[in-house]
Each structure stands twice: as C-alpha cells, then as structure tokens.
Amino acid sequence: MRKSLSLIVLIWMISFSAEAQQSSAEEDTRLHWDESSNLLDDEKALPVNAAQPTPFNAFHKKDQNEFVIAPIPFLNPSQGWGLALMAQYIFTLKDDDSPPSIVGGGAFYTEKHSYGGGLAYSGKLANDEWRVGLALGKATVFYDFYGVGYDQNKQDISIPLKQEVDFAGLRLMKQVTNKLFLGIELIGAEITTNIESENIPGVLAEEIVAKTDFIAPNLKAERDTRNDSFYPTEGSLFDLQAEFHSEELHDNSTYQTYKISWNQYLQMAPFSVFAYRLMARFAYGEVPFYSLSMFGQGGDLRGYETGKYRDKMMWAAQTEYRYRFTDRWGGVAFAGAGQLAPKVSDFDGAAFLGSGGLGVRFQIAEKNPVDFRFDTAYGDQKVSYYFSVGQAF
C-alpha cells in the first residue's frame, strides 16, 4: 500500500531500523509490513557449518537479545539528507523456539522539512506458530509529483506536494505448514494532500486527492526459508498480497492492488552471496496516485526518485552480489530493470528502465548483522546516492 509517497517508509525505517526494506522518505511509502524491511522480519540463527564458515560470529550466539539505539543519517533522491533517531529492542522469549521479536520506535527529519515518527511491535509467538504486528505513527512529508504514466513522467514536470498522514496497523499471521504463513493486515489511515504551489499544470492538479480516510484489509501469504532476515546467505522469501479499498470502508474510491515477489539468496563462497529479486504489482479500479506502482521504492529500482515513474502495472527484477571483507565491512554490486504500463497488455512495447551501481556496508549492531549501507546508483540518466540502514532486499 503506498499511502503517502515518502512517509511511511521512513517511519518503518525508524521503528524497525531498516525497511524496509525500506529507506527513503519516499522509497517504500507503504503502510504495511514489507519483505524488504529487514528488521520487521524474523531473525533466524544461522546453523554452524564447519565446512562452510561465515564471517558473522554473531550468527552462532544463542543469546541475541540486544538494544540498538542510534541516530541514523540517511540520503535518497526524493528527500535529500535526513536524520532518524531510533531505538529498538531485539529479543527472544524464554522457553520459546520462535525467532526474535522486535519492539521499537523513532522519529525523522529531512532536508525537505519532512518529519514524523512511529512506534511498532513485531512479535513471534508459540514457537513461531503466530506472528503479530502492531504499528502507529504520523508524519508530514513534502515531495514532488510528476503525474502518471511513462510519457508524462519523462517530461520531468512536477508540482510540490505536502502530505499529512496518521495511521495505525495490525497484522496477524498463522503458520499453516513448514515456513508458510497466511494472514491478514488491517491498515487504518487518514491522508491529507495539499499543493504547495500556485503555478500548477492542470493535467497534474486533476489527479490530486485532497483528503481521504479508510480501513483497508490486506490478505497475505508468505513463505520464508532464509537462514537470517538481516543478512541472509541462503534460502528464499516469497510474498503474495491482495489489498482491497472500498468506498464502503470510507475510502474515496474503490480499487484493489495485487503484489507478488520472490527473493532468492545463494551463498557462492564463505564470504560472498548472490541475491536476486523478482516482483510484480498490479492495480485495478479508480486508483489514487499515491497507491499506484512506482519505481525507486523498496529498492525497486535504486537510481530513481521514488514516485517519479508510476502507473497501474509494474514489474521489476534486480540482482546483487554481496561480499564481506571482515565481520563488519562489506561491499555490493547491483543491477536491475523493469517496466511500467497502464495495462498488462501494454508491457509489450513499453519503455525499459534500468539501473546499476556499487555499495558499501558496515555492521552497526554487536550481536545482529544490521548494516549501514551507502549505495551509488546510476538510473534515469543520472547518479543518485543512498545512505540508510538494512539491505535493499
């Protein structure tokens, strides 16, 4: 759900210190928990394998309970520099074989004067039979809106928007078989959008929604076989979501969004990992601009200002090679491509958008492999920089 282009991901990043997959004021602007928000996911211990040593001694520690409190600077194309102040506690329940749970909160401020904060809890209960999530927050975010569709986006004409969001969320998922979880998320939000300019291109002004409030159910299926959620070296993550909006639930329009994604992690050697991600998202109905599919969000794709390119239909694919030089330092090389279109049939002949780049990683937590990341990406005929917490996916 892309409620408020820029804001939700920052709240997620603060509350869970990664996002999410998450990590720009307009990247991951979603209200629900996402597979790309690494600190929201479960933390699984990596089994010791003498024949396949890993550079992370922390993976082998039985007691991974840990406080992580830090100011976190970040940088992205849509918001410029920003600072997040976050605090979280990673813990495991006594006499419970569940992966660690997380409770946290924080606040952020950006170069564009966007600000906000949130609190969240992600719990794994009853030997990981149940997964429960709670979150609430609010923010005010300033960003540029370029319209809808590749042809209009490519003109590089934008208007500045101010978006205010208050939201609360609840997630409940049950493990129905080995590593497969089914459940529902309920998101309630109030979104107010204002145009911060008197010189408005008419074609863009018609697409702005002034105010909406809603409760949206999101049906979700997830299969997670990763050996770790902060820095996986093996396994995969499959995620399927179906989100429903209706005027009967106080939304301004009736529409649905469907998203499917697959992340795969392959250990090439004791200190290197090859990872790839495939995703597609489809929206049907009277979809407001902030709920359209868009590049630059959640790492799909780095190198693009989040929300500049948006439409109803989207697919993206990316690869990343990760190498650890030491327990704390690492580097990555990445590349990706994708398309946007108003209908699935329009993918044939639609423009391809691509990106690639290099990055550096530095582990900031003592017991869990939580990384600062700095990425340099080339996309949309320019170089962009990202500085945040957690892997891109």
CATH number at residue 352: 2.40.160.50
The angle subtended at Cα 210 by Cα 118 and Cα 20, nearest 5°, is: 30
297 C-beta neighbours (distance < 10 Å), count:
30
pLDDT at res. 135: 95
**Inside any domain, residue 2:** no
Q: What is the pLDDT of residue 2?
A: 39
Full domain range(s) for residue 77: 8-389
What confidence score (pLDDT) does residue 121 get? 95
Tally of domains in the chain: 1
Query: What pLDDT sits at residue 51?
Result: 39
Is 100 contained in some domain? Answer: yes
Question: Which residue is associated with the tokens 């934008």?
Answer: 158
Calculate Rg over the CA atoms of the chain.
20
Which pLDDT belongs to residue 59? 39
Per-residue pLDDT of the chain (393 residues; tens, 9 = 90+): 333 333 343 443 333 333 333 333 333 333 333 333 333 333 333 333 333 444 443 333 445 687 878 788 888 888 889 999 989 898 887 777 887 888 999 999 999 999 999 999 999 888 889 999 999 999 999 988 888 888 878 887 888 889 999 999 999 999 998 889 999 999 899 988 888 776 665 555 555 656 888 889 999 999 989 988 788 999 999 999 999 999 888 888 899 999 999 999 999 988 999 999 999 999 999 988 888 998 887 778 888 888 888 999 999 999 999 999 988 899 999 999 999 999 999 999 899 999 999 999 998 777 778 788 899 999 888 898 888 888 888
Domain assignment present for residue 229? The answer is yes
Cβ atoms of residues 170 and 134 within 8 Å: yes
pTM above 0.75, yes or no: yes
**Quick check: is 3 in a domain?**
no
pLDDT given at position 99: 79
| Cα dihedral: 19, 23, 24, 25 (round 10) | 40
pLDDT in the model for residue 207: 57
Does residue 1 form part of some domain? no
User: What's the pLDDT score for residue 257?
Assistant: 95
In a domain, 12, yes or no: yes
C-alpha 364/C-alpha 347 separation (Å) is 41
The pLDDT value recorded for residue 64 is 65
C-alpha dihedral, 366 to 82 to 357 to 35, nearest 10°:
60
